Amino acid sequence: MPTLFSFDDNNLLLCAEDNAVYAQPLSDYPRLSRATSEQREKWKLSNIGIHWEEIDEDVSFESFFYEKDDPLVVKAVL
């Protein structure tokens, strides 16, 4: 479980229990990237991640620990 998360100009930052800081580029989350500071501040924490209701965005804690060379692949069934 993270102890803190915040934003810099280009990233969503997560501070883990061991005080290591992990980053995810905002470019991976267009809704977060375009969100105002006020919208970014309106989040809810769950056991699995962070949710922004107003912009309908979710970021899982697990996603901060994916190997950079091993992209997540999502397959949708239509």
Whether the Cβ atoms of residue 39 and residue 54 lie closer than 8 Å to each other: yes
**How crowded is the C-beta side of 36, counted as CA atoms within 13 Å?**
3
pLDDT at site 3: 67
Dihedral sign of CA atoms 40, 41, 42, 43 in order: positive
Pairing of strands 21-25, 11-15: antiparallel
* Alpha-carbon span 25 to 9, nearest angstrom: 10
Domains, the chain, in order of start with CATH, read: 4-65 (3.30.2020.40)
pTM to 2 decimal places: 0.74
Tens digits of residue pLDDT in 17-65: 888 888 889 999 999 999 999 999 999 988 899 999 999 999 998 888 8
SS3 33: helix
